[in-house]
Amino acid sequence: MKIRVYDPADLGRIVELFTATVRGVNARDYSSEQVAAWAPIPPDLERWRTRLAAQRVWVAEIDGELAGFCSLAGDDYVDFLYIDHRFQRKGVARGLLSHAEEQAGGRSRRFHTQASITARPFFESMGYVFRTAQEVEVRGARLRNFIMEKPAQSGQ
């Protein structure tokens, strides 16, 4: 697996991966209405371009294929972490998240995220702690997610 910095030329592949993941994987935990609001077709590419340009983004490739991507908004908020269904449970998410955390200051920094129902167990396995459940509105649909935090570790 190769992890590299996002290039704007990756935009189309990232949006395709995101849409397929939400519609294929997250659909087991969310209704069809919620999924359609979360990953609309067609996607708003300009919105994606703007959002990713404002963040630090890394992509993982395996044999030249986009396996996943991860982003940090600011230095401590994990905004995106999505893995192609073909590469899930193969260490891609763990590698991307660890890389992003390391690039942002590693163990000395506190990280946080809003994890989906689907992603919560993964974040827990990475040391993130549940803080509270919430419902967020996305294009008129209410989606449940979890505010999670990975406390800074002293001694590093």
Per-residue pLDDT of the chain (156 residues), as tens digits, is 999 999 999 999 999 999 999 999 999 999 999 999 999 999 999 999 999 999 999 999 999 999 999 999 998 999 999 999 999 999 999 999 999 999 998 766 899 999 999 999 999 999 999 999 999 999 999 999 999 999 887 554
Tokens 């570790």 — which residue? 153
Q: How many residues does the chain have?
A: 156
| C-beta atoms surrounding 98 within 10 Å | 15
Residue 126 lies in a domain: no
pLDDT at 108: 67
Residue 52 lies in a domain: yes
pLDDT at 156: 44
Domain that holds residue 86: 2-106
Residue 17 lies in a domain: yes
CATH number at residue 80: 3.40.630.30
Residue 38 lies in a domain: yes
pLDDT at 109: 82
pLDDT at 153: 76
Residue 53 lies in a domain: yes
Q: Structural domain tally of the chain?
A: 1
Do residues 71 and 52 touch, judged by C-beta distance below 8 A? Answer: yes
Distance (Å, whole) CA 138 – CA 35: 10
Residue 132 lies in a domain: no
Residue 36 lies in a domain: yes
pLDDT at 141: 97
